[in-house]
Amino acid sequence: MKNAAIFIFLVLPILSQAQTIVSEKPLIKEGVGFFDKETYSLRQEGFPYQMEVYRERSKGFWFKSNRTNTVSIVIDFENTVGLKASVPLPFVSDFRPGVHHLFEFFSSPRHCSFSFYYTEGIVNPKLSRHTYVLPVPDGKSVTLTSSNLKTEEPFVTPIKYHDGISTFYGVEFEVKDSFTITAVRGGKVEYVEDKLPGGEMKNRLRIVHLDGSFADYLGFDQKGINVKTGDKILAGQPLGTVDINRKLFLSIGYQTLEVDRKLPYNEWLKTVFINPSFRTKESKKPWRVGESYTSSQPAALITQEMSKRQRKKYLSGRN
């Protein structure tokens, strides 16, 4: 597409960060462990247990997860004096289901205590600049009606969702000539909520991208989402229909987790919202509130994160 152009809200060297807030996801303190023996196990409550941190054979630490999704864990030691491990401590990482070796001790005090925390999903992902498609089918238009990515104010009034409060930083689009909302980037559906009455901008879904970032889409009609949790999604794939306001809120961000003992542990987990870069069919048109833009979804953009095999299969299906 010779006329296709990429427009960016803020131009920074690698990735443009817009806002950082304490995450709406909880960081859960699962328990405190003490070890002065060769073997120690700390299991999550409930049966069958879903997660277990254990010490095996002299100094090795392991993590076992029976959960169906990725979790991020923190193992924080009360006293690191005389404690030498094969990795930096406190330990922070994310894991898929299964058994994982975490680290070994080269030396440790006889009596040592640690705390175990976890949260859903990936934290501290390694991100690079990515080009997104607009959230409508190829050739359809949207109008940028609002953006607060450069401001200190929440994007929308905090919205009750499940048992928490959601605050969004991002952009608002008016869907002009299509009722269909499409994915701005490929990934996996993490959750779906579309049972609320339309017109209140509360029905939404989240897609987690390959690199661990996510996109929140807010503004679907009641029962208007046609994908489900766990579905794998391609960029440009239809997700559902917009509600009667014909407005879509879109936030793109990722989770960070840093142990800071000066803060309560439930403030260690944060959400960082980023300024997305979109491809449109307009050439050299500045990105401004009130302007309209046309979706451009060339195959090269849709397949940019696919393997060679996936790309070949996708392209053969288009022919």
8 A C-beta contact, residue 301 and residue 311: no
Above pLDDT 90, what percent of the chain? 29
Residue 9 has pLDDT above 50, yes or no: no
CA distance 171 to 149: 7
Determine the average pLDDT of the residues in 297-301: 90
Most confident of 10-14, 142-146, 235-239, 257-261: 235-239
8 A C-beta contact, residue 45 and residue 97: no
**Distance set, CA 319 to CA 183, 313, 316 (Å):** 22, 10, 5
HSE-up (13 A, CA, CB side) for residue 30: 23
Residue 13's pLDDT band, with cuts at 50, 70 and 90, is: very low
Tell me if the pTM is above 0.85: no
Q: What is the pLDDT of residue 111?
A: 67
CA distance 156 to 215: 16
**pLDDT one-digit tens code per residue, 122-162:** 999 988 778 899 999 999 999 988 776 554 444 443 444 33
CA distance 216 to 205: 6
Which alpha helices (DSSP H) does the chain contain, by range?
A: 299-302, 308-318
Q: What is the pLDDT of residue 51?
A: 78
CA distance 66 to 58: 24
Instruction: Look at 129 and 282; give whichever has higher pLDDT.
Output: 282
**pLDDT one-digit tens code per residue, 53-91:** 777 766 678 888 888 888 999 988 887 777 788 999 899
8 A C-beta contact, residue 159 and residue 165: yes
Residue 200's pLDDT band, with cuts at 50, 70 and 90, is: low
Determine the average pLDDT of the residues in 13-38: 63
Residue 12's pLDDT band, with cuts at 50, 70 and 90, is: very low
Contacts 24+ apart (CB under 8 A), 284-290: 284/5, 285/5, 285/7, 286/7, 287/7, 287/8, 287/9, 287/144, 288/144, 289/144, 289/145, 289/146, 289/147, 290/143, 290/144, 290/145
Residue 167 has pLDDT above 70, yes or no: no
5-25+125-298, CATH topology level:
Glucose Permease (Domain IIA) (2.70.70)
Spans of all domains in the chain: 5-25+125-298, 28-120
Comparing CA positions, the residue from 52, 44, 158, 117 lying closest to residue 269 is 117
- Tokens coding 27: 């960081």
